[in-house]
Amino acid sequence: MADDYQIRRAGPADHAGVTRELAEYFAFLGEEVDPAGLDHDVADWQGEYAGGVGVMLIVVDPAGDVVGTAGVRRLEPGVAELKRMWLRPACRGRGIARRLMDRVLDEARALGAQALRLDSERQRLGTAVHLYRRYGFQEIADYNRNPRADIWMELRLAAGRSQPMANAAVSELRKKSDAASANLSKQLHGMEPNLDKADAPGEWTTRQVLCHLLADPDWKPVPMLKGFSTTSLPVIELKPGHAPVTPERQKMTLAQLRDALEAQRDDIFGYLESLGDADLARKAKIPLFKQFMGTDEIALPVYVGAMFDYHWNDHAGQIAKIRKANGMPDA
C-alpha cells in the first residue's frame, strides 16, 4: 500500500541510496551526468540541499530501500526550485507521487518561498508534467537555460496545500484506481523483455494489452466524460476486442506505455475532482454494460470505477498469465 512508503528528508546514512536513485533517474532519461555543469547539484547533493538553502526528500519502501527523490532548494528570495523528482517505475500508480508533491510544497513554504519553479520535458517526463498541471503549475518563460528542458513552470504558493479537493465518492474512486494501477505495475515489473510475447498462440501480447487499455490514439477521456448528461444521454460504444498497436506504439518502451496510461488516469481524476455531486450524477448509454449490470444507463462514477476496478485489474490478470507462460516468477 502507498501508506507503507515513507517520505522524509535524506540524511548522511542515505547517501548510497540517494546516489543510486539519482543515477537511475539519469539512466531513465538516457543522459550522462554533467557534474561540473548542469548536474552539479547531483555531484554534491548533500551540500546543495542542506541546511537553510534546501532539502533532499526521499521515498523509502517497506523494505527500507530508497526508491524515489525530490530536491527543493532556494533559487532566489521568495522563489524555490524543484529538482530531481523521481520515483521508480515499479512504484508508480499508487498515489506516492502526489504524497511526495505535497511534501515538496510544504518544504518550499518552509524555505520562505512564495513561488516554486521547475523545468521538465514534455515527452520523456510527460506523466510528471501532467502532475504539475494538476497542482496548478503554469508555464513560464525559460528561467535557467537548461538545454534538456522544453517546458518551464511555476506555482504560486498559498498558505495551505494546493492539492485538488474531491468529494467522498471521487476519493473512493481514486483509492480503487490507485490499487488497480499498483496491481498493473506489479504484473508489469520486469516485463520489458516479454513485452511482445503472449501466453499462448493467438492471444494478446503484453504490448497489445496495454494498447487496448490506452484505446485509440486519438481517444481523449476527458472530452468523453464531459459528454455524460442528465437528459439526452450520449451512446458510448466500447471495443472489447480492440488493441490498437500503431507504428508509434510499437516503438514505445514499457515505461512509456505505462506513463501514457498514468497520464490518462491523471487527466480523468483531474476532471472528476473538479465536479460537484450534480455533475457526478450525469449518465451515458453504454450498451456493453447492460449484460452484466441490467441497464445501459451508466452514471459517470460507475463508468470510471469499472474502467479501473474491473478493466485494469482484469487485464493485470492477463499479464500475470503471460508472466507465467514465459517463465517469470509470480509478481
**Does one domain contain both 149 and 189?**
no
Domain presence at residue 132: yes
Locate 155 and state its grid cell.
506555482
Q: What is the CATH number of the domain that holds 186?
A: 1.20.120.450
Q: Where is the domain boundary, 129, 156, 183?
A: 156
79, 143 Cβ separation under 8 angstroms = no
Q: Where is the domain boundary, 156, 184, 199?
A: 156
Secondary structure in 3-state letters for 66-85: EEEEEEEEEEECCEEEEEEE
Q: What is the mean pLDDT of residues 158-169?
A: 61
**Does one domain contain both 12 and 139?**
yes
Domain presence at residue 163: no
**Does one domain contain both 150 and 237?**
no
The pLDDT of residue 207 is above 90? yes
92, 28 Cβ separation under 8 angstroms = no
The pLDDT of residue 2 is above 90? no
Domain presence at residue 330: no
- Residue 172 makes CB contacts below 8 A (sequence gap 6+) with none
Least confident of 50-54, 79-83, 124-128, 145-149: 50-54
Q: What is the mean pLDDT of residues 90-100?
A: 85
- Residue 258 makes CB contacts below 8 A (sequence gap 6+) with 89, 92, 93, 184, 185, 188, 210
**Does one domain contain both 235 and 311?**
yes
Least confident of 29-33, 49-53, 303-307: 49-53
**In whole angstroms, what is the distance from residue 324 CA to residue 300 CA?**
36
Q: Where is the domain boundary, 156, 183, 208?
A: 156
**Does one domain contain both 173 and 226?**
yes
Domain presence at residue 109: yes
257, 205 Cβ separation under 8 angstroms = no
Three-state secondary structure call for residue 9 = strand
Locate 60 and state its grid cell.
523509502
**Does one domain contain both 125 and 26?**
yes
Q: Which domain holds residue 318?
A: 168-325
CA-closest candidate to residue 206, choices 35, 50, 323: 323
Locate 307 and state its grid cell.
474502467
110-143 pLDDT tens trace: 888 999 999 999 888 888 888 898 888 999 999 9
The pLDDT of residue 187 is above 50? yes
Q: For residue 232, name the pLDDT band (cuts at 50, 70, 90).
A: very high
DSSP string, 255-297: HHHHHHHHHHHHHHHHHHTT--HHHHT-EEE-HHHHHHHS-SE
The HSE-up count of residue 289 (CA atoms within 13 Å, CB side) is 22
Domain presence at residue 331: no
- Please give the tally of structural domains in the chain: 2
DSSP string, 288-324: HHHHHHS-SEEEHHHHHHIIIIIIIHHHHHHHHHHHH
Rounded alpha-carbon distances, angstroms, from residue 270 to 90, 130, 263, 282: 23, 9, 10, 17
**Does one domain contain both 307 and 172?**
yes
**Does one domain contain both 251 and 198?**
yes
Rounded alpha-carbon distances, angstroms, from residue 228 to 134, 249, 302: 22, 29, 12
Q: In this predicted model, which residue has the larger pLDDT, 168 or 202?
A: 202
212, 204 Cβ separation under 8 angstroms = yes
Q: Please, what is the average pLDDT of the chain?
A: 89
User: What is the torsion angle, in degrees rounded to the nearest 10, for the CA atoms of residue 171, residue 94, residue 19 and residue 257?
Assistant: -120
**In whole angstroms, what is the distance from residue 206 CA to residue 23 CA?**
28
**Does one domain contain both 184 and 309?**
yes
Long-range contacts of 226-229 (CB under 8 A, 24+ apart): 226/271, 227/284, 228/282, 228/283, 228/284, 228/299, 228/300, 228/303, 229/282, 229/283, 229/284
